[in-house]
Structure 1
Amino acid sequence: MKSHKMPVQGYWYFLMNGGMTMQRNILKDTLLLTAIQMLLDGMGLLLNIFMTKHLGTEAIGILTLTSSFFRLLSVIASGNVFLCASRFISEELGKGQRNPKKILMHCMGISLLMCMTVSGIVNLFASQCSSFFLQTDVLTNSVRIMTAILPLLTVTACIKGWFNACCQTGICAISDIIDCVARTICMGIMILTKNQTEPEELCNMTIIGTIAGTASALIFMLCSFRNCHAVATGKASLSLKEYFILALP
C-alpha cells in the first residue's frame, strides 16, 4: 500500500502557521491582560485618593494593613488554588481520555478542606492574630468575619482557574473588572454615607467590599460557565488522592 507523506514544505508550512497562530494568541492575551491590569491599577489609585480625601491618612493605613492581612490569609487558606486549577485542568484538557470537570471538583474539594482547616485555626487564635498582625485587640471579631468568607474566595479562585485553563482569558479579565468595580462602588457608598473612622468599622468596610466584588465576579463566571465547552471523553486522569499529592508544594 502506498503511503501518503506530507512533503517537507507541507511540514514547514504547518509548523510556521501553527507557531504564528500561537504567537498571535499569546501576544493578544498578554496585551489584553496588561491593559486590564493598568486599568485596575488606575481604578485602585483613584479609590485610594478618594478614601484619603474623605477618611484621612490614618484610616488609609488601617485599611492597607487589614487588606494585606486579608490577602495573606486568603493565600494561606486556598493554597494558591488558582494556579493549581489552571495547571491540572489544562493538563487534563490535553489528554485523549479526560474529565476536566472532575478535576475541578477535586480542586474545589481539597481547597475547601484546606480553607476550613485554616479558618478554624485562625478563629481559635483570632485575638492573637489581631494583636500580632493588626496591632490592636479590637479587630478580633473582624478577623473571625474574614475567615467566614474565605470559602467564597476559594471557590471564585477555582472557577477563575478553570477559565484560565480553558484559554478564556477574556472572561478572567472581565471578572477582575467586575470585582474591582463592585468593590469600589460598595466602598465608595459606605464612605459617603457613613463617617467610618474606627478601626473595626474600617476593617468591616474592607470585608463588605471584598464580599461585594468577589460575589459579583463569581456570579458572572458561573453565568459564563456553560459557554466554556470542555467535554469529558472518559475518566479523569487523576483521583482525589493523586490530585492531593501532586497539589502539595
Structure 2
Amino acid sequence: MTIRAGAIIFVKALGLLGKIFMTRTIGTEGVGLYQLAYSFYGLVLMMISGGLPTALAIYTSKSPGEGKTLLKGLSLIILPAGLLFSLMIYLLSVSIARLLGYPQLDFAIKCLAPAVFVVPLLGLLRGYLQGNERYGVIAASEIVEQAIRIGLLMLLIPFFLPAGIVLATGGAMIGTSAGALTALLFLIACYWIFRSDKLAGSVKLPSALADIIKVSLAISLTRLLIPISDFLDAIVIPNRLQASGLSSVEAVEVLGVITGIALVVAYMPTLVTSALTHTMTMKMSADWSRHKFRAFHRKSNQAIETGWVWGIVSSLFLFNFSSEIAGYIFDVPEASTSIRALSFLPLLVGLREITTSILWARNQKNTPFTGLAVGVTVNFVLLYILVGIPGLKLTGIYMGIIALELIATLFNFKALELFSYLKTRGIVFLMDILFFAFLTFLCDLISKRVASSLLNTAVEVALYCVCSYVYLAYRYANLRLKT
C-alpha cells in the first residue's frame, strides 16, 4: 500500500511539473485550449469504462479466481467500444472542436483519439490487479505512463511551438496516447507473468457480468458527474466570459488560469487523500462484508481525521503562499487571486473523497451520487448566471466550484451521521484550527525579519512545513492510540 500511495504522489508531482512547463512555454492561452480538449477526453473515457475497473477490483478482492474470468469477459466488451469511440472521435474531430467553441482544437482532438481506445483497457487491467493487491505493479505502470506522457510533452511542445500555440497544444496530447499504450503493454507483460498465481474460478459469466455491470453503473453515476461538470465548465465559462465582454482569446486565457493553474494547485494536496482512499477502500469493503464493523469504523475514523488535518495544513499553505506559487513557480502572477480564492478546496475535496469511499464500502452509493448531482446543478446555475455579469466574472466561477464540493461533502456527512461525531471531537478540531492559525502568524512574523524576499519565502515555507509535519505526526500517533 505504501508503494501505491508513493506512486500516486510521484505521478501527480510529474503531472504538476508538466503543467508548469506548459504554462511557461505555451502560456495561459495554450493551457486553456489544452484543458478544453482534455475535459472532452475525460468525459468520453468515463462514458466507455465508467466504474468497471473499480467494480472489477471489488469483485476480484472477494473472489480472486473468478476475477480473471471476468477480466476476459469485460475486455470483450470494452475493446470494441473503445475502438468505435476512438474512430468516431478521429473522424469527427472538426465537429467536436466546433462544439467546444474553438475550431482550432481539431488537431489536438485527433491526437487524443488513440488514447480513447487504450486507456479503458488499461483501467480494466489495473482494476483486476488492484483486486489481487498487486499495488507494486500498478504503481510501476502509473509511473511509466506518466513519465512517457510528460517526457513527450516536454519534447513535442518546443518542436511544434514554432508552428503556433494550437499545434503545440496538439503535440502535448500525443504523449497521453503514447504513455497509455506503453503502460498497457507493460501491464499485459506483468499479467502473463502472474497468470498462474490465481487459477480461474468457475463462474457463470453472464450472471456475473450482469452483477458487476450493475455495481459499475452505480459507481459510474457518481464518477460521471465530475467529468460532466468539467466538460460543462469548459464550455460554459468561456461562453459566458465572452458574453460579459471578453474576447475568445481572453476567455480561454481565464479558463487556463483557473482550470490549468489554480485548480491544479488546489487539487495537488488531494493526492494524499486519493492515495489514502485507494489503499483503504478495498480493506474497508472487506471489513464491512465480513461484518468486522469495529475494524471498519476504526479505519473510517482514522481516514476522516487524517483527511481533516491534512486538509487544514494544505489549505492554509495555499492561502498563505498563493503569490509565491503563482509568481515563482508558474510565472503567472495574476493567478495568485484564483489560487487563494480556491485554497480551501483541498479540505473539501479530501473529505468528500474519503467519505465517498466509506459510503461505497458500506454499499451506500446513492448518497454520493445525489450530493454530487445537486452540487453540479448548483455549480452550473451559478456559472451561467454570475459569470456573464461583468463585475462578477471570477467570483461566479469561484462560487460555483466551491459550492459543488461543499454540497457534495455535506450530503456525505449527513449520510454517515458525522455531525454528531464532529461534536464529540469538536475540541480537538478547534485545537487543530488554532494551532495552524498561530503557526501562520508565527511564520509571517519571523519571515519579516529576513531582508531578502526570496530568502524570506524560503524561511517561511520551511518553518511552516517542519511544524506541520511534527503536528501531523503527533495527531496521527494520538489517533492510533485512541482507536
For the aligned pair, the TM-score class normalised by the smaller chain equals 0.7 to 0.9
| SS in structure 2 of the partner of residue 109 of structure 1 | helix
After the TM superposition, which residues 202-213 of structure 1 pair with which residues of structure 2 at under 5 Å, given as runs?
202-213=168-179
Query: Which of residues 195, 212, 218 is equivalent to 2:184?
Result: 218
Partner Cα distance (1:140, 1:193) in 2: 18
Cα separation, partners in 2 of 1:99 and 1:45, compared to 1, 3 Å:
closer
- Contact 2:52 / 2:124 at 8 angstroms: preserved in 1? yes
Partner Cα distance (1:139, 1:108) in 2: 31
Partner Cα distance (1:99, 1:243) in 2: 11
Cα separation, partners in 2 of 1:111 and 1:62, compared to 1, 3 Å:
same
| SS in structure 2 of the partner of residue 149 of structure 1 | helix
Is 1:194 matched with 2:160? Answer: yes
- Contact 1:59 / 1:197 at 8 angstroms: preserved in 2? no
In structure 1, the residue matched to 2:73 is: 106
- Contact 2:85 / 2:116 at 8 angstroms: preserved in 1? no
In structure 1, the residue matched to 2:48 is: 77
In structure 2, the residue matched to 1:66 is: 37
Partner Cα distance (1:178, 1:77) in 2: 23
After the TM superposition, which residues 55-204 of structure 1 pair with which residues of structure 2 at under 5 Å, given as runs?
55-93=26-64, 98-116=65-83, 118-119=85-86, 126-133=93-100, 135-140=101-106, 142-144=108-110, 146-195=112-161, 197-199=164-166, 201-204=167-170
- Contact 1:142 / 1:204 at 8 angstroms: preserved in 2? yes
Compute the TM-score of the two structures, normalised by the length of structure 1: 0.73
- Amino acid aligned to 2:22: M
- Contact 1:79 / 1:111 at 8 angstroms: preserved in 2? no
Q: CA deviation at 1:247?
A: 0.6
Cα separation, partners in 2 of 1:212 and 1:117, compared to 1, 3 Å:
closer
The Cα RMSD (Å) is: 2.6
Q: CA deviation at 1:181?
A: 0.6
Cα separation, partners in 2 of 1:191 and 1:148, compared to 1, 3 Å:
closer
Q: CA deviation at 1:194?
A: 3.0
Is 1:45 matched with 2:16? Answer: yes
Higher relative contact order (CA 8 A, sep 6+): 1
Partner Cα distance (1:61, 1:75) in 2: 21
In the TM superposition, what whole-angstrom CA distance separates every residue of 1:206-244 from its partner, at most 9, and x where no partner exists?
331111211121122122123324432652x23135404
Cα separation, partners in 2 of 1:203 and 1:92, compared to 1, 3 Å:
farther
Cα separation, partners in 2 of 1:78 and 1:145, compared to 1, 3 Å:
farther
Q: How many residues align?
A: 213
Stretches of structure 1 that go unaligned for 5 or more consecutive residues are: 1-28
In structure 2, the residue matched to 1:26 is: none
Partner Cα distance (1:204, 1:218) in 2: 22
Is 1:232 matched with 2:203? Answer: no
In structure 2, the residue matched to 1:23 is: none
Partner Cα distance (2:207, 2:92) in 1: 30
Partner Cα distance (1:202, 1:88) in 2: 42
In the TM superposition, what whole-angstrom CA distance separates every residue of 1:27-57 from its partner, at most 9, and x where no partner exists?
xx1x333322222222222222222222222
- Amino acid aligned to 1:70: Y
Partner Cα distance (1:202, 1:86) in 2: 37
Partner Cα distance (2:94, 2:158) in 1: 30
In structure 2, the residue matched to 1:11 is: none
Q: CA deviation at 1:72?
A: 1.8
- Amino acid aligned to 2:132: C
| SS in structure 1 of the partner of residue 104 of structure 2 | coil
- Amino acid aligned to 1:58: E
Partner Cα distance (2:164, 2:204) in 1: 50
- Amino acid aligned to 1:115: G
- Amino acid aligned to 1:43: L
Runs ≥4 in structure 1, deviation > 6 angstroms?
none
- Contact 1:130 / 1:139 at 8 angstroms: preserved in 2? yes
Partner Cα distance (1:149, 1:233) in 2: 30
- Amino acid aligned to 1:49: I
In the TM superposition, what whole-angstrom CA distance separates every residue of 1:186-209 from its partner, at most 9, and x where no partner exists?
11111233315343x244323311
Partner Cα distance (1:233, 1:67) in 2: 37
- Contact 1:142 / 1:203 at 8 angstroms: preserved in 2? yes
- Contact 1:63 / 1:202 at 8 angstroms: preserved in 2? no
- Amino acid aligned to 2:112: M
